Structure 1
Amino acid sequence: MNDTLFFILLLVPAILLVGMIILFIRLRQSDGEKRKMAEQIEQLQGTFNTLQLETLESKLNPHLLKNILNSIQSHAYQTYFALDKLGSVLDYILYESKSRFVTPREEIDFALNLIEINKIKISPLFELKVKNRIDETEPLLHQKLMAPMVSTDLIENAFKHADLQSADAFISIVFEFKNDTFQLTVSNKISRRQPIKKERSGIGKKTLEQRLNIIYGSTYSLDSFIEGDVYIAHLKINLLDHKVKMLTVG
């Protein structure tokens, strides 16, 4: 009896010890599982965040790419448009300019193409005004009475000397044809920057005046003046008087 009691007294602490060890091990395992579960949750959260970010980026990137593509398309179209106009200008220079005279309609179309080419130089925000006050019913509009390329110098000078940096800069070009008279008025805000002097500067205007004097004599006027900070050039050719003069001389 005593031996049995002694054995039980020894066994109970051992059972308790084993139970505590098992409980400790399970608690450790539970902590490990908790940590593992926490890590898995953290990984899942990270994966979710990544997927969410990728989803947002997948929406953003195509939008960005689309904007870039639209910009490229816009510049590509502008370049193609300008090249197309350049082709027309070159045709005019190579073929029509060989003729002594062209129609006012042909000269105006040439000048409009020249303006489109020069638009590449300026910002889309730059104020460029082009107006046509053309009476299409005028018979002389389609008769070969215009000296080719008389519009070139006035238009080129405007783009060359305009103040392209100022917020209120502008170029204004107005074509008029009525009462058998061709008129071109070009105005631009004068640049504050000192222009670079070139050896051959001013030759274009002198050459134009010489051509006009030889061809039109007293039937034309070419004036240029400054109003405030705006330079204005005005060309006027009375084609009816010129035609009468040609018939008289002929």
Structure 2
Amino acid sequence: MEDITLYFCLALLLAVLVVVVLAIQLGKANKKNNAMQLQLSRLEGQVYAQQLSDIDNKLNPHLFKNVLNAIQSHAYQTYHSLDSLSSVLDYILYESKKQYVTPQQEIAFALSLIEIYRIKLSPLFELKVKKKINENEPLYHQHLMTPMVSIDLIENAFKHADLQSPNAFISITFEFKENNFMLTVANKISNKQPLKKEKQGLGGKILEQRLQIIYKENYKLDKFIENDVYITHLKINLLEHKAKMLAAR
């Protein structure tokens, strides 16, 4: 009987030792895994930062060229667009280098950009710009927007719109409600084939790259044609994006 009791005690002790050893090994493995996850997150952050840096290097000169072309094409109206030009250049030079700006800043920049492009249009051309914004929402004033995310949708409307026919138009609507930034741009499609240029469509690819890198599944970009009208709609859920930013810290 004593032998059985001794054997049982030894077996129990051995089992406890095995559990302790396994627990220690598991703890070490978890610690190592956490360290690897942290290192991986840092590496991903470096990759994303490099990708965004490469994108910015392509984006800013492209925007400068388009803005200056708009001013040059109607030099006699330059005086009236100096305020808008100053705002746009300040934003490009200073705010665009930041990781995030507020939705309020991004919309103000986009409105100044539209005023610059307006000088290319006939006074009779129908350019509709609307704002449906709840400025009392806290996220409207928080730094959650990637700078210049509005550029491509607006530029494409002016580039591909039918500017000659009597029923031609461009419609741009900014919305901010329930913590969502929304931009809808619509334009009557021109029957004229645009001139093919090298690197055509660069802006669209850059926009989608930036949205995917920064907002991942917290955005939606739709593009479609309806009755000869090209429509693009961008929606960014800033509340979900902020929650994931906080969780990643």
TM-score (norm 2): 0.69
Q: Distance in 2 between matches of 1:234 and 1:214?
A: 19
Q: Distance in 2 between matches of 1:129 and 1:98?
A: 30
In the alignment, structure 1 residue 239 sits paired with structure 2 residue 238: yes
Partner of 1:134: 133
CA deviation profile, 1:137-171 (whole Å, cap 9, x unmatched):
01000000000000000001100000001110000
Q: Distance in 1 between matches of 2:206 and 2:119?
A: 27
Are the structure 2 counterparts of residues 231 and 88 from structure 1 closer, same or farther at C-alpha, using a change threshold of 3 Å? same
Structure 1, 80-89 or 124-133: larger mean CA deviation: 80-89
Gaps of 5+ in 2: 1-73
| Matched position secondary structure for 1:121 | coil
In the alignment, structure 1 residue 211 sits paired with structure 2 residue 210: yes
Partner of 1:221: 220
What is the deviation of 1:228?
1.4
Q: Distance in 2 between matches of 1:242 and 1:100?
A: 14
Residue type of the partner of 2:148? M
Residue type of the partner of 1:184? L
Question: Considering only CA atoms, is the larger Rg found in Structure 1 or Structure 2?
Answer: 1
What is the deviation of 1:88?
0.6
What is the deviation of 1:76?
9.4
Residue type of the partner of 2:168? A
Residue type of the partner of 2:177? K
Show the 5 A alignment for 1:1-250: 78-250=77-249
Q: Distance in 2 between matches of 1:197 and 1:228?
A: 24
Q: Distance in 2 between matches of 1:244 and 1:203?
A: 31
What is the deviation of 1:78?
4.8
Q: Distance in 2 between matches of 1:200 and 1:77?
A: 31
Residue type of the partner of 1:148? P
Partner of 1:30: none
CA deviation profile, 1:15-70 (whole Å, cap 9, x unmatched):
xxxxxxxxxxxxxxxxxxxxxxxxxxxxxxxxxxxxxxxxxxxxxxxxxxxxxxxx
Q: Distance in 2 between matches of 1:245 and 1:197?
A: 41
Structure 1, 225-234 or 76-85: larger mean CA deviation: 76-85
Residue type of the partner of 2:231? I
Partner of 1:31: none
Q: Distance in 2 between matches of 1:136 and 1:155?
A: 22
Residue type of the partner of 2:208? E
What is the deviation of 1:197?
1.1
Residue type of the partner of 2:115? E
- The number of residues matched between the two structures is 176
Q: Distance in 2 between matches of 1:78 and 1:240?
A: 41
TM-score (norm 1): 0.69
Residue type of the partner of 1:165? Q
Residue type of the partner of 2:121? I
What is the deviation of 1:201?
0.6
Q: Distance in 1 between matches of 2:166 and 2:231?
A: 19
| Matched position secondary structure for 2:119 | helix
What is the deviation of 1:96?
0.1
Residue type of the partner of 2:185? V
